[in-house]
Structure 1
């Protein structure tokens, strides 16, 4: 009797599914076959299959998407939380970074943010941050258009904010205040990121600071947890 035969049925199925994923027969982003087909393939009940699939979902290897099924999660990106910007971190890890601008609003009513930035008015960019052309993070970026007029067009056409700030003003962000939370994707966020509203996401609010500790901009990001492993660099 093989050692695996001594394991519970659901664990045997979990290992077989895992083997299929590791061999590439179940590719990243592909949906699992229908339940009845998998039950027939592995000779198990739906209850057993669902437990095996549930275990892989809990491990972040599979993702359930309401109304569509369960798919193989892409391999996680290692993302470092540091003073560097998104593009700098991605490129430093050998990846290609992209900033897809979804919208720009030059008339934002956010008095608390404006007060913190000492701004008369604000510009807000909604951007989809990508690594190797894969959507990773939805970002809302708030800027003072008077103070940083020279970065507006570069950011609007998909350039890095940190890179534009460096090139236009010679400013290098010196610090950040962050709050990190975990919640679920809102409907509008889920649609853009291609996940379900039951998908756990990291929510990070980051005030980008200059050398005097004064805020330069505010970045609010939403990142599906199954796509990224966050590493803190001190």
Structure 2
């Protein structure tokens, strides 16, 4: 991995090793390169390597055994969906497939919409879409999204099964997320959500509500996400 400016080297090492474990280059039970080998490969010192290996241990990626080395464990895969970069960026390259359940369409705001809207927003209406994310073949994330329909010409034409919503907004409409608020609950899956995620009704799942402000006045995004965490934990870095 190329080192970004001002990125501590131990974080580069963490990201490299984590990616190789996630991608299956190192499998459960495999030994990682020794501390000396990592020092040579990254041109760094033993304390830096030990800091990186210590954090990978805390994440559950490796187990360190005295006299043997760093052994790959079998952690659940993490989904960084707490990031405001969007679900696609948060899920990463874990064989992600996006299924469009409701293609983007222009609608009026729901009467019982849980967020307060400005008069400008109400008058503009919104763009609505619903997507189901399959991670390694498992239906894992169901998300409904509402976007204020301001200065987004031909937005319904975008293929959001193959392209990131956030990247599409940025590249084609110069819209970027500036800040946001997210609320998270553990809830029992309704029959509708359970059917979508292929789980039993009543099973505990994660429910997230997001309100995101953009660089354009009154153009806000809202998402309502349901996540089955049986196979994946939720993570983020700061």
TM-score (norm 2): 0.57
Q: Which residue of 2 aligns with 1:17?
A: none
What's the offset of the Cα at 1:160? 1.8
In the alignment, structure 1 residue 88 sits paired with structure 2 residue 89: yes
1:233/1:155 CA distance change after superposition, 3 Å? farther
Kindly indicate whether the alpha-carbon contact (under 8 Å) linking 2:142 and 2:225 is maintained by their aligned counterparts in 1: yes
Aligned-pair CA distance for 1:121:
1.4
CA displacement at 1:100 relative to structure 2: 1.0
Which string of whole-angstrom CA distances, capped at 9 and with x for unpartnered residues, describes residues 41-62 of structure 1? xxxxxxxxxxxxxxxxxxxxxx
CA deviations 1:84-138 (Å, max 9, x no partner) are: 11112233xx423332111245334425458258242123211102223432111
Q: Distance in 2 between matches of 1:214 and 1:83?
A: 18
> Given that residues 145 and 221 in structure 2 are in contact (C-alpha distance below 8 angstroms), is that contact kept between their aligned partners in structure 1?
yes
How far apart, in 1, do the equivalents of 2:216 and 2:237 lie?
21
Residue pair 2:150, 2:219 contacting (<8 A) in 1 also = no
Q: Is the partner of 2:85 in helix, strand or coil?
A: coil
Correspondence for 1:153: 157
Partner of 2:100: 101
Report whether the alignment pairs 1:110 with 2:114: no
> Considering only aligned residues, what root-mean-square deviation do their CA atoms show, in Å?
2.9
Structure 2 Cα separation of the partners of residues 231 and 161 of structure 1: 21
User: Partners in 1 of 2:100 and 2:217 — Cα distance?
Assistant: 28
| 1:200 aligned to which of 204, 214, 218 | 204
1:214 deviates by: 6.0
1:175 paired to 2:175:
no
Structure 2 unaligned regions, length at least 5? 1-27, 29-74
In the TM superposition, what are the counterparts of 1:64-75 in structure 2 within 5 Å?
none
Q: Is the 8 A contact 1:183 1:203 kept in 2?
A: yes
Tell me: CA distance 1:114–1:133, structure 2 relative to 1, closer, same or farther (3 Å).
farther
Number of residue equivalences: 160
Residue 12 (structure 1) aligns with? none
Q: How far is the alpha carbon of 1:213 from its aligned partner?
A: 8.8
- CA-CA distance at 1:145 after TM superposition: 3.1
Q: How far off its partner does 1:172 sit?
A: 2.7
In structure 1, what is the Cα distance between the partners aligned to 2:213 and 2:137? 29
After superposing on structure 2, the runs of 4+ consecutive aligned residues of structure 1 that deviate more than 4 Å are: 111-114, 155-158, 211-215
Distance in 2, Cα, partners of 1:150 & 1:197: 38
Residue 77 (structure 1) shift: 2.9
Once residues 230 and 213 of structure 1 are traced to their aligned partners in structure 2, the CA distance between those partners, rounded to angstroms, is: 31
Which residue in 1 is equivalent to 2:228?
Answer: 224
Tell me the alpha carbon deviations over residues 134-161 of structure 1, each in whole angstroms, 9 at most, x when there is no partner.
3211100112234323432215555321
3-state SS of 1:190 partner: helix
What SS does structure 2 have at the residue aligned with 1:209? strand
Looking at CA atoms only, which structure, 1 or 2, has the larger radius of gyration?
1
| Secondary structure class of the residue paired with 1:106 | strand
1:169 Cα offset (Å): 1.9
